[in-house]
Amino acid sequence: MTTRRKFLATAGVGAAAAGLATPAIAQNTIRWRMQTYAGAALAEHVITPAINMFNQIAGDRMQIELFYADQLVPTGELFRAMQRGTIDAVQSDDDSMASPTEVTVFGGYFPFASRYSLDVPVLFNQYGLNEIWDEAYSAVGVKHISAGAWDPCHFATVDPIRSLADLQGKRVFTFPTAGRFLQQFGVVPVTLPWEDIEVAVQTGELDGIAWSGITEDYTVGWANVTNYFLTNNISGAWAGSFFANMDRWNELPEDLQTLFRVCCDQSHYYRQWWYWGGEAALRVHGTDMELTSIPDEEWATVEAAAQEFWEEIAAESETKRRVVEIFRQYNADMQAAGRPYRYT
């Protein structure tokens, strides 16, 4: 934290000094700091390739320095740091970065809002969520650039989960909204820095994790400290976005804005197939976690509770009701479309 405070206090001074001291070619290079929600191992897949691509193509015109989870500021302070301009851009879900907007509750894992990863980009690009997010973030001085899907949300636990009763009292690292929903089933949500999760499971501070699918469990090392993977999930895909400080974004030439968007889209595409293939392959071939399931008829009570939760959220504001109504319409359309969109 001392390092973070020092960074926050001196970032502006350092930038000004650098502008005077660096060679002419560097003075003309636009430089951004970007922080992701992901730790280093996960970032190698969900963000690093896209930023490397951007830097290679932009060359001397612009360079983005990428920081991982909690390196400059805690994840829960990402929004404020970006809004102030301490950080220029962020990759995160709305929920984790504590965005003060009406759409925050829908970031990350909103219970049962999606079944498949493709649901997320369709909701944003064809069902109107992009316009709502743009409106919400423009009002607070932040540019919402692009939303995409990550992995589904499953429990990875030390002890097996084979019924809802097994969730009682389990201390679980999860997203704020997911934790709020799961509390009714006895789950105790725990908030910790991302990099501390593995050790927290080893020391018994956590009983499990409901933060990802099985691909991340193996990629970041959580499969090494948990024994079981619950195949039931509370959402089909994590919804996350790329954001930027509005002033910094508006200062970019149009072609660099376009390049950034293209690299974001490439990141979204990479995650579509990396997670989709990984979730299946590791269920079948992974050796570190045993698969467990809660019977469908029992899990149906969780799905029913999600519908009540949706209505509870919708009652909180007009914007939230607009989003919930889009979810309802979309899922009704997918159900009516039948296979392969929805299986009953």
Dist. CA 174–CA 190, nearest whole Å: 7
Domain that holds residue 230: 153-237+286-337
Say yes or no: 223 and 163 in one domain.
yes
Residues contacting residue 6 through CB under 8 Å, at least 6 positions apart: none
Closest CA to 238 of 123, 148, 304: 148
Residue 19 CA: distances (Å) to CA of 28, 210, 218, 256, 342: 9, 44, 43, 21, 55
pLDDT given at position 85: 96
Say yes or no: 146 and 170 in one domain.
no
Q: Are strands 30-36 and 153-157 parallel, antiparallel or unpaired?
A: unpaired
**Total number of domains constituting the chain:** 2
pLDDT given at position 237: 97
Does 342 reside within a domain? no
Location of structure tokens 């995650």: 271
Does 343 reside within a domain? no
Say yes or no: 299 and 316 in one domain.
yes
Beta strands in the chain (DSSP E): 30-36, 62-67, 89-92, 142-149, 153-157, 171-174, 188-190, 208-212, 228-235, 239-245, 290-292
- pLDDT < 70 stretches in the chain: 1-26, 344
Does 94 reside within a domain? yes
Does 344 reside within a domain? no
Say yes or no: 253 and 192 in one domain.
no
Q: Please write the tens of the pLDDT for every residue from 284-328.
A: 999 999 999 999 999 999 999 999 999 999 999 999 999 999 999
Say yes or no: 15 and 78 in one domain.
yes
Supply the CATH number for residue 124's domain.
3.40.190.170
Location of structure tokens 């990863």: 117
Say yes or no: 124 and 259 in one domain.
yes
The pTM assigned to this predicted structure is 0.89
Residue 154, token pair as written in the block: 């499953």
Please, which residues bridge with residue 65 across strands? 33
pLDDT given at position 343: 81
Dist. CA 80–CA 338, nearest whole Å: 43
Does 17 reside within a domain? yes
Say yes or no: 220 and 74 in one domain.
no
Residues contacting residue 293 through CB under 8 Å, at least 6 positions apart: 162, 230, 231, 232
Say yes or no: 197 and 81 in one domain.
no
Say yes or no: 263 and 295 in one domain.
no
Secondary structure letter of residue 100 according to DSSP: -
Say yes or no: 332 and 190 in one domain.
yes
Residue 315, token pair as written in the block: 């009652």
Say yes or no: 140 and 157 in one domain.
no
Helices 318-337 and 129-138, packing angle to 10 deg = 160
Does 110 reside within a domain? no
Burial 79-99 (b: 16+ CB within 10 A, else e): bebbbeebbbbbbbbbbbbbb
Does 109 reside within a domain? no
Q: In what order do the strands lie in the sheet with 62-67?
A: 62-67, 30-36, 89-92, 239-245, 142-149
On whether the CB atoms of residues 93 and 299 are closer than 8 A, the answer is: no
Dist. CA 322–CA 326, nearest whole Å: 6
Does 265 reside within a domain? yes
Closest CA to 75 of 248, 223, 240: 240
Say yes or no: 224 and 333 in one domain.
yes
pLDDT given at position 344: 66
